[in-house]
Amino acid sequence: MKHTMKAMILERPGLPLHLVDMPLPVAGAGNILIKVEACGVCRTDLHLVDGELSSPLLPIIPGHEIVGRVVAIGSGVAGLFVGQRVGVPWLGWTCGKCAFCAAGRENLCDEARFTGYQIHGGYAEYTLADARYCFPLEDSVDATQLAPLLCAGLIGYRALRLAGNAQRIGIYGFGAAAHIIAQVLKFQGRDFYAFTRPGDHQSQVFACQLGAVWAGSSEEMPPHRLAAALIFAPVGALVPAALKVLEKGGCVVCAGIHMSDIPAFPYAMLWGERQIRSVANLTREDGSEFLRLVSQVPIQSEVRRFPLEQANEALRQLRHGEFQGAAVLAIEP
């Protein structure tokens, strides 16, 4: 094994990432060293680069939708083997002792650390991870297909869980998470309605191809009131827009880690036992449940592939909505 690796580093927010050679990490107690096969490019990475997330580790290697192979195992790790394919998600470590952790809500742990934010992530040839927070993955599926499942899929799934058993669900922001959760909804026999930016007919066609019963602008009213709405776009103005289309007792779930300010709206829009909820991170149980579900659902991720050194271009195209589905860095073997 070589002694150095290539990685894309963020020195400080506002600057582009730059490619560096750095020493290969060593797998210490409880950790595994992973040779990265693919890493998804998430909107959270944009928030990190833009300085919209507080207190990141700097400099930092971004990336938290990591698929790779175990190449070294630290002491105290059980149940994994060299050569095994694993996935590394956003949640990278929790204290295991606080009231949230004890109650099965480790996603809310105050001491939690996150991959590609406070722990070096997957925009690199290799990465270290706490073995307890990694998921075994299928060998037979292309790594670039699996990578978006590790955040877009997982956070989409947690958002869907918070929507309960709603049968008519609106999806705002038809990107990486939406196009995965749309396939889950189709498999479950639930109707989904796609809301896009005004004039984004390409995304509306894409949503209909994935089974949307209706697709239109976020400013339009769908043909029926909805039981729930999932907001994946980081636009606060979508919250009152989504409330407007809900039936009584419905729920708006805000699925992003960052969102612009929510404008004022009349209380009458919330009245009728409507709810607004946010999704914060994920639990390992979320991951296990979702990956079990994925084994039954024939999910096909729509991906645009980029080499590692083009991470800045991938982020630029994501920012401007220049592709459907997800962007993935495919790391050369």
pLDDT tens per residue across span 284-304: 999 999 999 998 988 888 899
CATH architecture of 4-150+302-330: Alpha-Beta Complex (3.90)
Hey, what are 126's tokens?
């290799």
pLDDT at 1: 66
Residue type, 116: G
Query: What secondary structure letter does DSSP report for 61?
Result: -
pLDDT at 213: 96
pLDDT tens per residue across span 36-66: 999 999 999 999 999 999 989 999 999 999 9
> What is the residue extent of each domain of the chain?
4-150+302-330, 154-278
Which pTM was predicted? 0.93
Please report which confidence band the pLDDT of residue 112 belongs to, taking 50, 70 and 90 as the band edges.
very high
Whether the Cβ atoms of residue 53 and residue 162 lie closer than 8 Å to each other: no
pLDDT at 333: 73
Query: What secondary structure letter does DSSP report for 184?
Result: H
List the CATH code of the domain at 154-278: 3.40.50.720
Q: Which residues pair with 276 in a beta bridge?
A: 252
Q: What are phi and psi of 275, to 5 degrees?
A: -130, 155
Hey, what are 175's tokens?
């990107």
Whether the Cβ atoms of residue 117 and residue 60 lie closer than 8 Å to each other: yes
Query: What secondary structure letter does DSSP report for 167?
Result: S
Rounded to an integer, what distance in angstroms lies between the CA atom of residue 208 and that of residue 284? 32
pLDDT tens per residue across span 81-111: 999 999 999 999 999 999 999 999 999 999 9
pLDDT at 69: 98
Q: Is 316 helix (H, G, I), strand (E, B) or coil?
A: helix
